[in-house]
Amino acid sequence: MRKSKTLATWIALISGSVGLHRFYLHGFRDAWGWLYPLPTFIGLYGIERAQQFGQDDRLSWALIPLIGCSIAAAMLTAIVYGLTPDEKWDACFNPRGPASRSSWAVIIGVIIALMVGAGVLMATIAFSGQRFFEHQIEEGRKLSQ
């Protein structure tokens, strides 16, 4: 079965954090595909804990960055798929049959993945840094009293 670079890019863009792009390309026996949802769902659990117990819940602020990293990794995967030359794509996923031809849909997917991935990665770093420094200030106040 032929594997479309456009479809793989968009699957990674839309649902890459749960590994659906891996199942599309490698089938349901792909071990990496089954590992993708784990950090995503742990990060979602962290968000749920933050909503339940407030933003001072230390476990939630340790878990939330996992979903940001999962989404950023999925966007990076979409970028790599989209920027893979057609000849190399065909050698990996379509060894027989006619050559693939990329369209503008791939480029648009790469652009969206770049924007979303950069935004999510910056937000994850900012959130983690803020929590880390708030914790350091809190511990410093405890020591000074």
Domains of the chain: total:
1
Reported as a single tens digit per residue, the pLDDT across 57-100 is 889 989 999 999 999 999 999 999 999 999 999 999 998 888 88
pLDDT at 1 over 90: no
For residues 28-40, average pLDDT: 94
| Per-residue pLDDT, 21 | 95
pLDDT at 41: 96
Q: Are 13 and 74 in contact (CB under 8 A)?
A: yes
pLDDT at 19 over 90: yes
The pLDDT assigned to 58 comes to 85
Residue type, 124: T
Residue 73 to residue 59: CA distance in whole angstroms: 22
What average pLDDT does the segment 91-119 reach? 92
In this prediction, residues 112-130 reach a mean pLDDT of 95
| Domain assignment of residue 57, given as a range | 5-144
- CB contact set of 123 (below 8 Å; sequence gap of 6+): 68
| Model pLDDT, residue 102 | 87
Name 87's Cβ contacts closer than 8 Å, sequence gap at least 6.
99
Q: Output the DSSP codes for 5-47.
A: HHHHHHHHHHHGGGTHHHHHHH-TT-HHHHHTHHHHHHHHHHH
Closest CA to 70 of 5, 21, 8, 6: 21
The mean pLDDT value of the chain amounts to: 93
